[in-house]
A and B are shown apart, each in its own frame.
Chain A
Amino acid sequence: MATAHHDEHPAGLMRWLTSTNHKDIGTLYLVFALIMFFIGGAMALVIRAELFQPGLQIVNPQFFNSMTTMHALVMIFGGVMPAFTGFANWQIPLMIGAPDMALPRLNNWSFWLLPFAFTLLLATLLIPGGGPSGGWTLYPPLSVQGTMGTDMTILAIHMMGISSVLGAINVIATILNMRAPGMTLLKMPLFVWTWLITAFLLLAAMPVLAGAVTMLLTDRHFGTHFFDAAGGGDPVMFQHVFWFFGHPEVYILILPAFGITSQIIPTFARKPLFGYESMVYATASIAFLSFIVWAHHMFTVGMPLAGELFFMYSTMMIAVPTGVKVFNWAATMWKGSMTFETPMLFSIAFVMLFTIGGFSGLMLAIAPADFQYQDTYFVVAHFHYVLVSGAVFSIIAGVYFWLPKWTGHMYNETLGKWHFWLSVIGFNLAFFPQHFLGLAGMPRRIPDYALQFTEFNQWSTVGAFLFGFSQLLFVAAVVQAVRGGKKAEAKVWEGAEGLEWTVPSPAPYHTFATPPRIK
């Protein structure tokens, strides 16, 4: 059980630099992710400000392209992934009754690689030639022709990749070796399951990205021609290798979100999760399918018909396990004794809005239709519905859900609800019109556009600013809860189930030094 007397640790900066404690490292990851969300968000607002009107107003096209590239890299590798790793660090040991992560020193290193990686990435904006500007996908030949910023980006990606792989190894080693006696795999909370599967995806996908960017580097500086058609190479090969990483990456960004949602909805519906085992198998199926759908990102490169058909049908198949999940969340709520605290509101919004993103994904999966949608704002709308109202909403929901456990204080519910409604309105205003822009043919990653797209772009920009600034309410709610407020009980929520709710709030520095016994 919980032990409150083992909480001596270095104070001040040394605590955070040298910590091997899963809760400290979890906090570091979450704070880092929050900072990155604001940096990446500021970049998004630069993009939206420029697109408020047709013509070039605020930034030059080169800088605009850097913003689109860096916004994606910062949000994916600096925001969403570290946020989920923060949750993993805090929650996995608490949920499986382990005293800490299996490899605490490695855990420290995994985190501390990140600030250096992102300093390097962001520093590209300060060097001659500016930041990388060929898109986060780093397609050659643009990325081969880029300035030194591209080299710095490649090194930064290597560091992020090492951090992710080490983190994944730690998660797998923890879950496979540190579960409390009696906690069989099919007794694990769903968040733990989704992270176990995510960790395997990370382990299989990140080395492929490392291979791809290493080839880019050698093409740039060591005379190789992997992707240079003039030298016998093939730029399309980069796209294949990149998306072999890139599609599992999409699921790396969403599976832990499924896990968080699967913890929150049963809590506030006061019912056990409907179809627990089918959720586990659906998650595993999604993970498997994620490795055989990559070329749907590149239907227009000119593939054999059989390839187009294979990737079209395999992509559509993902809708089946995803549908199982959405059905199970709905069935969990069905006839539940529901209340609508902030985490639940964000989770319900997650289910509804993520499903919209899923449906637009199905539209994009249809190869002949994709020829029309490719590289338009429809794609931008699609993946923001999946990644913002999907991944980011679940992260926010998870923070509100577990914040009382982490800090020992309840957050301000009124502030949380304001945050929710402004976020939902701002988000939909920002991204729903982008579907129409895309269907009408507005291309992505271009700082200027034809006059007829003006109105929807203006709506989108207003929504983006509303969404962006409403996140300050989130910071206010978190800071308030960290500093004080109503004391949280051990079992913060009436319907909460699981080992993390058996320890006091805030969770003591060391927990489960003696493993609990699971019946």
Chain B
Amino acid sequence: MPMTRLPEIQRRAIVRTAVTLGAIAFALFVYTFWRGVK
């Protein structure tokens, strides 16, 4: 039986957190590489 669905507001907050953190991680990777190029 699937888990109870989380409230929409909580789902949105989770996605927002995850996307923000993912963007930060990717930016750090690009920045490291760019510093190497400089």
**Partner-B contacts on A (CB < 8 A):** 5-6, 8, 99-100, 102-103, 106, 165, 168-170, 172-173, 176-178, 203-204, 206-208, 210-212, 214-215, 226, 237, 241, 510, 513-514
Contacts and interface: CB of A to CB of B under 8 A. Distances in A.
A100 B3 contact: yes
A177 B11 CA distance: 9
Interface secondary structure of A, over-half rule: helix
A298 to B, nearest CB: 17
Interface size bucket, B side? 20 to 34
B10 to A, nearest CB: 6
A173 B36 contact: no
A206 B29 CA distance: 8
Nearest to B2: A6
B22 A169 contact: yes
A177 B22 CA distance: 16
Contact of B1 (A8, A170, A210): A8
Contact of B3 (A177, A214, A215, A510): A510
A165 B17 CA distance: 13
Interface string B1-38: 10110000010011001100110111011111101100
A88 to B, nearest CB: 15
Contacts of A514: 4
Nearest to B26: A207
A102 B3 contact: no
B29 A177 contact: no
A393 to B, nearest CB: 31
Contact of A168 (B4, B21, B26, B30): B21
A102 B36 CA distance: 35
27 contacts: A6-B1, A99-B4, A102-B17, A165-B25, A169-B25, A173-B14, A173-B18, A173-B21, A176-B13, A176-B17, A177-B10, A177-B17, A203-B25, A204-B28, A207-B25, A207-B29, A210-B32, A211-B28, A211-B29, A211-B30, A211-B32, A212-B32, A214-B33, A241-B32, A241-B35, A241-B36, A513-B4
A355 B30 CA distance: 38
A173 B29 CA distance: 21
B38 to A, nearest CB: 11
B24 to A, nearest CB: 7
Nearest to B10: A177
Contact of A173 (B4, B17, B24, B35): B17
Given A6-B3, A207-B25, A102 B32 contact: no
A515 to B, nearest CB: 10
A513 B6 CA distance: 10
A207 B28 contact: yes
